[in-house]
């Protein structure tokens, strides 16, 4: 009898796993459960789509026909409601039952609801996670006089940069911290980001948060703790994800925000694996459990999980990367940073005049992470050094100079 695989989620982790499983086993039954109505699309391209730099159709990476071509039995607008681990069966909201020999949970998460008092009174509120979210932001922001962005995370930044780039609405960005990405960048890095954002027309309100929303003159009004008043038409925000663990709660699967796995991406139930944003995996780079929300990480997870589901015994080890524009420049993040691993040693260099910033992070004299603003020269070599896990014998400051790093 052929093996039966069930994959929950058709983001890049689930899609990669399903296609890898098909390569490994031409005869297996592979069922995919997809909560969204779309075939796979490139979430990394959503900021470019928001900026108007890529057409909507170019965001898609697969067609419905592609699933049939690979004999992938996909069910759109469907989600798991229960996993019966004893009988190895997945049940869905459509009253379906899918038996499995190996199960992958790659369901990711959905934006946390806005946490600010009174935000439920703001009818024009949109998170930024899906293609449908992006469509709604474009439509509403282009018709607005002012858009308010809240949250000092990557999502908050991508919203601020994307909407301001369109040059339709004025934009105000409010964050609780003193600067963007406060747990990774230091004051000078945050100042450089603000300098470039203000040059693009973004109004920054930092070290502050909204304490009250109301209506005024047919618009919305945000009043902050420090007495700022911002009238706006649309609220977009980024405050993290709630991971879709409902089907496995109160079960034998160990949870810690997401699904806890070992280095092979195995969960604590037999023949169950997790990949992508939802996986709290044992990260060999920092020798502790970690959760990573990057596209590259999810894709690499999908491959390793599939090989292990098919009988392999492979550890996951990779250097996650994230690269995007930064108000006309480039932002690149690699490896592990202090937001997930506090107390890392670091060295840095920067120039406000040259719009250049670079900071490297070390653990036990090994390079484990980096963040760059400006031309990412030397990035590939830094990633190679991280992958090698070699101890740095020379002065760590040497690695800050791109001329010392030949790609």
Supply the pTM of this predicted model: 0.93
**Euclidean distance between CA atoms 165 and 151, whole angstroms:** 18
Measured over the CA atoms of residue 55, residue 156, residue 324 and residue 352, the dihedral's sign is: positive
Do residues 320 and 297 touch, judged by C-beta distance below 8 A? Answer: yes
**What are the structural domain ranges in the chain?**
4-110+241-309, 119-237, 322-404
Q: Is residue 371 left, alpha or beta, with left meaning phi > 0 and alpha meaning psi from -120 to 50? A: beta
CATH superfamily of 119-237: FAD/NAD(P)-binding domain (3.50.50.60)
Which residues are CB-contacts of 278 (< 8 A; sequence separation ≥ 6)? 105, 106, 107, 108, 109, 243, 244, 245, 258, 259
Tokens of 321: 């990367």
In this predicted model, what pLDDT tens digit does every residue of 282-298 receive, in sequence order? 999 888 999 998 999 99
Tokens of 115: 């946490």
* The two domains 4-110+241-309 and 119-237 share their CATH topology (first three levels equal): yes
Class of domain 4-110+241-309: alpha beta
Count of residues in the chain: 407
Per-residue model confidence (pLDDT) at position 143: 97
Tokens of 246: 């409902």
Nearest to 318 by CA among 358, 275, 348, 278: 275
Q: Which of 1.10.10.10, 3.40.1400.10, 3.40.50.150, 3.30.390.30 would CATH assign to domain 322-404?
A: 3.30.390.30
Cross-strand pairs, 351:
356
Per-residue model confidence (pLDDT) at position 1: 72
Could you give the angle at the alpha carbon of 302 between the alpha carbons of 298 and 304, nearest 5°?
A: 115
HSE at residue 153, side-chain half, CA atoms within 13 A, is 14
Q: What is the DSSP letter of 242?
A: E
Show the DSSP H helices in 77-226 as ranges: 131-142, 154-166, 187-199
**Strand 146-150 versus strand 170-174 pairing type:** parallel
Report the chain (407 residues): mean pLDDT per 10 consecutive residues: 94 98 97 97 96 96 96 98 96 98 96 89 94 98 97 93 96 96 93 96 97 92 96 95 93 94 97 98 91 93 98 94 90 91 93 95 94 92 93 93 75
């Amino acid at each position: 009898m052929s093996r039966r695989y069930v994959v929950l989620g058709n983001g890049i982790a689930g899609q990669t796993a399903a296609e890898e499983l098909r390569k490994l086993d031409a005869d297996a039954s592979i069922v995919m459960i997809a909560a969204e109505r779309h075939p796979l699309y490139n979430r990394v391209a959503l900021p470019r789509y928001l900026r108007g730099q890529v057409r909507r159709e170019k965001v898609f990476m697969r067609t419905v026909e592609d699933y049939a071509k690979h004999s992938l039995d996909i069910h759109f607008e469907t989600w798991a409601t229960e996993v019966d681990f004893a009988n190895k069966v997945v049940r869905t909201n459509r009253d379906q039952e899918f038996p499995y020999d190996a199960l992958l949970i790659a369901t990711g998460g959905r934006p946390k609801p806005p946490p600010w008092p009174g935000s439920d009174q703001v009818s024009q509120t949109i998170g930024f996670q899906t293609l449908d979210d992006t469509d709604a932001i474009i439509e509403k922001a282009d018709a607005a006089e002012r858009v308010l962005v809240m949250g000092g995370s990557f999502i908050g930044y991508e919203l601020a940069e994307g909407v301001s780039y369109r040059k339709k609405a004025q934009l105000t960005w409010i964050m609780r911290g003193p600067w963007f990405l406060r747990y990774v960048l230091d004051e000078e890095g945050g100042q450089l980001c603000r300098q470039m954002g203000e040059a693009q027309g973004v109004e920054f309100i930092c070290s502050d948060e909204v304490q009250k929303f109301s209506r005024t003159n047919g618009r919305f009004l945000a009043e902050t703790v420090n007495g700022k008043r911002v009238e706006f038409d649309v609220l977009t925000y980024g405050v993290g994800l709630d991971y879709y663990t409902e089907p496995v709660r109160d079960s034998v699967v160990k949870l810690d925000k997401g699904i806890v796995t070992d280095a092979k991406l195995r969960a604590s139930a037999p023949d169950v694996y997790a990949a992508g944003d939802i996986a709290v995996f044992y990260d060999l780079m920092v020798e502790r459990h970690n959760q990573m929300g990057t596209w590259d990480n999810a894709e690499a997870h999908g491959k390793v999980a599939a090989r292990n589901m098919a009988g392999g015994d492979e550890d996951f080890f990779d250097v996650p990367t994230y690269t995007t524009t930064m108000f006309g420049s480039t932002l690149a993040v690699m490896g592990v940073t202090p937001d997930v691993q506090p107390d890392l040693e670091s060295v840095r260099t920067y120039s406000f005049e040259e719009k250049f910033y670079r900071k490297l992070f070390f653990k036990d004299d090994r390079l484990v992470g980096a963040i760059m603003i400006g031309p990412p020269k030397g990035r590939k070599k830094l990633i190679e050094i991280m992958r090698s896990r070699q101890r740095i014998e020379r002065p760590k400051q040497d690695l800050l100079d791109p001329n010392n790093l030949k790609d």
